[in-house]
Chains A and B, each alone.
Chain A
Amino acid sequence: MTYSPFTYDELSCQELVELVTDYVEGAMPDELRLRFESHIARCGGCRTYVEEMRQTIRATGSLTVEAVSPEAEQALLEAFRGFHR
């Protein structure tokens, strides 16, 4: 029996893009992970897509974390002193 490049249980690209987070989070059952990996091994578009998602995560990680405002901090420190007076 011969298989076409995309066999009956092959993921489509449209299905694959919905599974990328499960994949990069390592939250995929083995059987699905194998299908995912066999797809990206053959599909340049999806390889690029997965890489773009990784780049997105990395770039989001470079944003600065918002700090507490000085006013809020002052109010809380005063409350703390009140507790220990």
Chain B
Amino acid sequence: MEEEGQLLAALRAGDEAAFKQLIDRYHASLVRVAQAYVPTRALAEEVAQETWLAVLEAIDRFEGRSSLKTWLFRILTNRAKTRGMRERRTLPFSSLESDDGAVDADRFRGPDEPWPGHWSAPPRGFPEERLLASETRGVIEDAIAKLPATQRTVITLRDVEGWSGEEVCNALTLSETNQRVLLHRARSSVRAALEQYLEDDAT
């Protein structure tokens, strides 16, 4: 990327504005990704800070075979994993966490009813005009905050920050399938929270 080449040259020349630009763009995401591996926010912040120092030390040797972003998050993930293990926390992606359905089973017809597995209580649809209200945003934020760390990280990077699936897989060293499973569970939980909020209100 042209822009990235210029940014790299500026960084190597000691251009502080270029470094600031990079921090503004990625630091909060680095902390967020680290939180998938280490138990506390403070530790995640520490790992992110260490990552920047490692980047500054290695920037002259960076050959640009991957994008700067990929490189940055690879350094972070390696450090966060090491730190997470030192803190005796089980590796976050060793299991995919809960296995509840996307929708409560009691919303569907039972195996002995006609059309088993089809809706008994179908969704009613979200009123578009309420979707972007600030209260609704609060409901989404709460729902995301309650997710397991790995799901929270994936949905935040994908749907809040707008990363591609490939970028998330690279940064978190996840397979495409696992990335999608985590995203699916996270989105399904947020949808369920929205449904509860929007429908409770309507009645």
To the question of whether A and B form a pair in one complex, the answer is yes
B27 touches A59 (CB 8 A): no
Chain B residues within 8 Å of chain A by Cβ, number: 55
Q: Which residues from B are CB-within-8-Å of A53?
A: 187-188, 191
Q: Which residues from A are CB-within-8-Å of B3?
A: none
Contact of A61 among B32, B52, B53, B162 (CB under 8 A): B162
Contact of B102 among A17, A65, A83 (CB under 8 A): A17
A45-B122 in contact given A17-B101, A22-B180, A56-B187 (Cβ < 8 Å)? yes
A12 touches B195 (CB 8 A): no
Q: Which residues from A are CB-within-8-Å of B174?
A: none
A interface list, Cβ under 8 A from B: 6, 12-15, 17-18, 20-22, 25, 27, 43-46, 48-49, 51-53, 55-63, 65-68, 72-73, 75-77, 79-81, 83-84
B interface list, Cβ under 8 A from A: 14, 16, 19-20, 23-24, 27-28, 32, 45, 48-49, 52-53, 56-57, 101-103, 105, 108, 115-119, 122-126, 128, 131-132, 136-137, 140-141, 144, 155, 159-162, 165, 176, 180, 183-184, 187-188, 190-191, 194-195
